[in-house]
Amino acid sequence: MTLLPLKIGITCYPSVGGSGVLATSLGEELAQRGHEVHFISYERPFRLPEHAPRIHFHPVVINDYELFKYPDYTLPLSVRMAEVSQQCRLDILHVHYAVPHATAALLANAMLPAARRPRIITTVHGTDTTLLGNDPGYRPAIHHALTRSDVVTAVSHHLREETRRVIGYHGPIEVIHNFYVPRPPTRSAAAVRHSLGLHGETVIFHASNLRPVKRIDVLLETVARLRDREDWKLLLLAGAPFEPFARDRQRLQLTDRVIVREKVLDVEEYLQIADIGLFTSDTESFCLSLLEAMCFGCPGVSTRVGGIPEVIEAGVSGLLAPSGDVEALGGHLRRLLCNPAERRQMGAAARARARAHFSAEIIVPRYEAVYRRALELPLAGGPHD
């Protein structure tokens, strides 16, 4: 049976960050599979191609009225969602990161006649549950939004359990892991190494937004444990200013060892020269950056937190250590630095695992199945909403 293509609205944070990257890739993949995709956000997602067939972008205009101490995003977003749903006859509105996107989607549906309401799919990504879910100013709103969504998905089993525990939401949550589609780098590996002043060093790779949960202090302390004679550099792609950590880098005598690049958009340029991924987060629902590194044949050394054990098979595709355990993390790094053969073997296993479990071919059909199932459901809420 041939299934008709769907009209799908996607709302996400457009800036550098795992949930936005995932949502953008999903939209691109859906459009390539024949669906019509409408992104609704305050900015064009940074990885969204300008002229791709069946991809549209609808900006949300936010006015900064003097009478508001804080500009409001939720209401203009909900109005835009309602307009796009009505004009483009959306079947599905898929919101990534619950706050405030899921609430705005519910509000949009309440503004629409019943026949024009898209089904609402909410994907929780991490801190919407683990951080904001612990804030009494947000928790009841998140609980309400999840309860009223047609389908809720989470990016790991761990996040599903946390959403139940922290938010107290006990409805169904489908686990759909992250996926990643690398883009071909535009420069050669040799050109990138040259631009970074690298010679034969092994490259330890880290990319994140440097928020406290990423434990950049632990990351720097870990590499500081490596013996001097080992030939390595840490390449740190920072989605936020590195300046607050510059003193630590100096104190630990790492100035020559740590290369920082801020606000990098073309992450693949650097991933292609990475040898070992290093991730030291206190919590992580999945860790898309770790998967990105795995796709480039890079074994990960990481903390055993959150959903990370669902991504790495410890001892096969990477090595895990307890949260904050600088000694253990440093030991793992040293092991991979000193054993290139083992490193390459684990890297190959990491790449194979990424392909087998976290590729677009595996993950995107799972979202399509969720959409088709949601369309079979009676409209959530009903006309009284």
* Positions that interact with ligand GMT (CB under 6 A): 17-20, 22, 97, 125-127, 155, 178, 209, 211, 213, 283-288
> Are 364 and 184 contacting, i.e. CB atoms less than 8 angstroms apart?
no
**3-state DSSP assignment of residue 216:** helix
Distance between CA atoms of residues 164 and 263, nearest Å? 34
Q: How far is the CB of 308 from ligand GMT (least distance, A)?
A: 8
Q: Which amino acid is at 343?
A: R
Neighbouring C-beta atoms of residue 60, cutoff 10 Å = 19
Q: How far is the CB of 320 from ligand GMT (least distance, A)?
A: 15
Nearest CA-CA partner of 351 in 287, 304, 299, 307? 299
Q: How far is the CB of 274 from ligand GMT (least distance, A)?
A: 17
Q: How far is the CB of 13 from ligand GMT (least distance, A)?
A: 6
DSSP 133-194: GG-TTTHHHHHHHHHHSSEEEESSHHHHHHIIIII---S--EE------PPPPSS-HHHHHH
* Nearest-CB residue for ligand GMT: 126
DSSP 39-85: EEESS--TTS-TT-TTEEEEEPP----TT-SS---HHHHHHHHHHHH
Distance between CA atoms of residues 206 and 300, nearest Å? 10
Q: How far is the CB of 306 from ligand GMT (least distance, A)?
A: 6
Extract the tokens encoding 76. 């203009």
Question: Toward ligand GMT, which CB reaches closer, 17 or 347?
Answer: 17
The structure tokens 């909900």 sit at 78
Question: Toward ligand GMT, which CB reaches closer, 212 or 378?
Answer: 212
Question: Toward ligand GMT, which CB reaches closer, 145 or 337?
Answer: 145
Distance between CA atoms of residues 156 and 136, nearest Å? 24
Q: How far is the CB of 213 from ligand GMT (least distance, A)?
A: 5
Question: Toward ligand GMT, which CB reaches closer, 122 or 127?
Answer: 127
Extract the tokens encoding 354. 């990424």
In 196-339, which ranges are continuous DSSP H helix? 216-224, 243-251, 267-271, 288-295, 308-311, 326-338
Nearest CA-CA partner of 177 in 26, 352, 28, 40? 26
Q: How far is the CB of 186 from ligand GMT (least distance, A)?
A: 24
Q: How far is the CB of 3 from ligand GMT (least distance, A)?
A: 26
Question: Toward ligand GMT, which CB reaches closer, 18 or 277?
Answer: 18
Question: Toward ligand GMT, which CB reaches closer, 127 or 202?
Answer: 127
Question: Toward ligand GMT, which CB reaches closer, 202 or 307?
Answer: 307
Extract the tokens encoding 36. 């019509």
Question: Toward ligand GMT, which CB reaches closer, 164 or 225?
Answer: 164
Phi, psi of 147 (to 5 degrees): -60, -40
Question: Toward ligand GMT, which CB reaches closer, 16 or 274?
Answer: 16
What contacts 129, CB < 8 A, 6 or more positions away?
A: 98, 142, 154, 159, 162, 163, 166, 167, 285
Question: Toward ligand GMT, which CB reaches closer, 44 or 334?
Answer: 44
Bridge partners (DSSP) of residue 314 are 318
Q: How far is the CB of 214 from ligand GMT (least distance, A)?
A: 7
Extract the tokens encoding 4. 């008709």
Q: How far is the CB of 367 from ligand GMT (least distance, A)?
A: 13
